[in-house]
Structure 1
Amino acid sequence: MRIGVCPGSFDPVTNGHIDIFERGSKLVDKLVIAVSSNPNKHSLFTMEERVQLIKNSVSHIPNVEIDCTSELLNDYVKSKDSRIIIRGLRALSDFEYEFQRALFSKYLDDDIETVFIMTNNKYSFVSSTGIRELAKFGGKLDGLVPDEVKTKLEERFSSGK
Structure 2
Amino acid sequence: MKLLDRHYTVRSVDWADRYQRIRDALNVGPDGYVIHEAAEWHPYRREWLFFPRKISTEPFDEAVDERERGANTLIIASEDFSQIRTLEVGQRIPERGISSFKILPGHPNECVGLKSVEIGDRTESYLFCFNLDGEVLQDDIFIGDYKCEGLEIL
TM range (shorter): under 0.3
Give the number of the structure whose residues are more often strand, by fraction.
Answer: 2
Give the number of the structure whose residues are more often helix, by fraction.
Answer: 1
- Using CA pairs under 8 Å that are at least 6 residues apart, name the structure with larger relative contact order, 1 or 2: 1
Q: So what's the TM-score if we normalise by structure 2?
A: 0.23
Q: So what's the TM-score if we normalise by structure 1?
A: 0.23
